[in-house]
Structure 1
Amino acid sequence: MTVQVQFERTTPLTEEQIAQYKEDGFIIIKGGCSDDLIHTFNAHIHAIRSSDEMPDWAKPKKGKEFIDDNDRFSVRLFNPHLHDGFSLQMMKLPIVRGSLAQLLGDEATGVQSMYFYKEPNSPGQAAHQDYYYIRNEPNSLTATWIAMEQVNEENGCLWVIPGSHKLGVLSHGAVKNLQEHEAWTDEVEDVDLSKEIPVIMDQGDILIFDSLLIHSSTRNRSNRWRRSYVCHYIRHDSKIEREDLKRKISLV
């Protein structure tokens, strides 16, 4: 039996959507993932983290240190695509590959993945630009943020400043509001954060945004989780500085 593999690249974005991305620095693909796919992936990640024989790569850790087992479902799962086939395929979704190629003008490659839990009452991350943490040249860094359930202001959605990607690379300093945000990150400086707007998403929606877009998240004030799968990509011809992210994953 011959197995056929489909390598043809899709072009899911309209000219209007591409123009909106260039203007705002972000775009939402509504219903980019089916409910079945979302439920299956959530259950898969839960099975990994709930296993009595959890592999070392999946254990909750901060920095290089493993932390308490009670944090199985609070600490993000970092770079699962390097170890888990399902996570890898979620990074390589055809709708993502096609959209990124349209926005970047050529094939993208994956460099990082993170599965976030964001349990009730957990804090968010202060306003920042992804390029500050992941330097690459020429800069083509782009993020996809898949909503693994409904996301709104109550359970700590993202907030963005439309058009802020046009400001260039900005300075970052200490986090100011430690009641709202994690202390271990940095916060963009000299920017009017009152211009931030909430990014409301339904389960399965895919947010794509530029690495220079100013964005943040708020504390989860609900009794619901706010799970998400976030991947970062660069164009195949860009070079990344961080040693731990130098491995490029083809999306083909």
Structure 2
Amino acid sequence: MTLQVAADRLSPLTEEQLNQYENDGYIILRKACSDDLIDMYNAHIHHIRAQDDMPEWAVPKRGAWTDADRFSIRVFNPHLHDGFSLQMLKLPIVRGALAQVLGDEAVGVQSMYFYKEPGSHGQAAHQDYYYIRNEPNTLTAAWMALEDIDEENGCLFAIPGSHKLGLLPHGKVKNVEEHEPWTDETEGADLSKEIPLVMEKGDIVIFHNLLIHSSRKNRSTDRWRRSYVGHYIRHDSVIEREDLKKKIPLY
């Protein structure tokens, strides 16, 4: 693909942050997105899912879904169909940070809008590369908090430095009271080393595809944990999965 040369591309990460990313496998960009933009985006997705004639791309991916699923099942790859979601994938601060950690321009390959209503389960510890193989391996995630997120409403947990362990085996989820049973779980890692990634609305965590991370059950009674996640690769990498081969330039 032909890339645009952009002299105005942001370089938001300091040397200290780049060193932290190299050591820990992640970096949190504090208040990287404005509350106003997030409020508009949440309302936009809510409107789409609330429609009687919901567009096919937004329909919950479940055989026989109910009204309750409208605001519980994730919206998968909205950037392929929805202009607002596409622009959220292409935020200048994300583009700039990715170029810094990857050493070259990144492209988007996947997006997901998560609801995680009160009482919903988390996802067991895993590494993104297990699900999204790419060569050369440059897969990187940008996970945006669409509201304040902490241990009560199911924040992310991560093991700092675990991206240096390489790809570990994955097996069946062990604690189905805490985690969704349909995913796979990293095996052989010391999960006692996981730490919570407490984030405020508008924070974005950039993390390596081999970082071991998870989320816990939303134990609140009235707080959601909405988030928007983009997955990216360096422009010269190739995704193995057929459904993720479309590369989205970020300029």
TM-score, with length taken from structure 1: 0.96
1:189 corresponds, among 187, 190, 195, to 187
Letter in structure 2 aligned against 1:199 = L
Take 1:147 and 1:52, find their aligned partners in 2: how far apart are those partners? Answer: 28
Aligned to 1:37, the other structure's residue is in SS state: helix
Q: Report sequence identity in percent.
A: 71
Name the counterpart of 2:99: 101
Q: Return the alpha-carbon distance in structure 2 between the equivalents of residues 66 and 169 of structure 1.
A: 35
SS of match in other structure, 1:95: helix
What's 1:112 paired with?
Answer: 110
Gap runs ≥5 in structure 2: 1-5
Q: Who is 1:199 aligned against? A: 197
Offset at residue 69 of structure 1 (A): 2.9
Give the match for residue 169 of structure 1: 167
- The answer on 1:55 being equivalent to 2:46 is no
Q: Which residue of 2 aligns with 1:251?
A: 250
How many Å apart are 1:66 and its aligned residue?
A: 5.2
- Whether the 8 Å CA contact 1:162–1:213 is kept in 2: the answer is yes
1:30 alignment counterpart: 30
Where in structure 1 do 4 or more consecutive aligned residues deviate above 4 Å?
Answer: none
Residue 191 of structure 1 aligns to a residue whose secondary structure is: coil
- 8 Å CA contact 1:60–1:69 kept in 2: the answer is no
1:154 maps to 152
SS at match of 2:110: strand
SS in 1 for 2:109: strand
Amino acid paired to 2:179: H
RMSD, aligned α-carbons: 1.0
1:2-13 maps to which residues of 2 (within 5 A)? 8-13=8-13
Counterpart of 1:3?
none
Partner AA of 2:246 in structure 1 = R
What one-letter code is carried by the residue in structure 2 that aligns with 1:134? I
Q: CA deviation at 1:103?
A: 0.4
Deviation at 1:7, TM superposition (A): 6.9
CA distance in 2, matches of 1:70, 1:143: 28
Partner amino acid, structure 2, of 1:54: M
Distance 2:75 2:143 in 1: 14
1:241 aligns with 240
- Distance in 1 (CA, whole Å) between partners of 2:244 and 2:8 is 27
Deviations 1:5-34 (A, max 9, x none): x87211011010000000000000000001
Return the letter of the residue paired with 2:118: P
| 2:98 aligned counterpart, secondary structure | helix
Deviations 1:152-195 (A, max 9, x none): 00000000000000000110000000000000000000111000
Structure 1 CA distance for aligned equivalents of residues 97 and 118 of structure 2 = 32
- Report the secondary structure of 1:72's partner residue: helix
State the Cα deviation string for residues 62-95 of structure 1 (Å, max 9, x = none). Answer: 3xx3522321000000000000000000000000
DSSP 3-state at the match of 1:61: coil
CA distance, structure 2, for counterparts of residue 85 and residue 7 of structure 1: 25
Alignment correspondent of 1:179: 177
Total equivalences in the alignment: 245
C-alpha distance after superposition, 1:186-222 (max 9, x if no partner): 0000111000000000000000000000000000000
Q: Map 1:207-226 onto structure 2 (within 5 A).
A: 207-222=205-220, 223-226=222-225
Following the alignment from structure 2 to structure 1, what is the Cα–Cα distance between the partners of residues 48 and 25?
Answer: 34
Is the 1:59–1:66 Cα contact (8 Å) retained in structure 2? no
Corresponding residue for residue 139 of structure 2: 141
SS in 1 for 2:71: coil
Q: What is the rounded CA distance, in whole Å, between the counterparts of 2:179 and 2:110 in structure 1? A: 22
Letter in 2 for 1:237: D
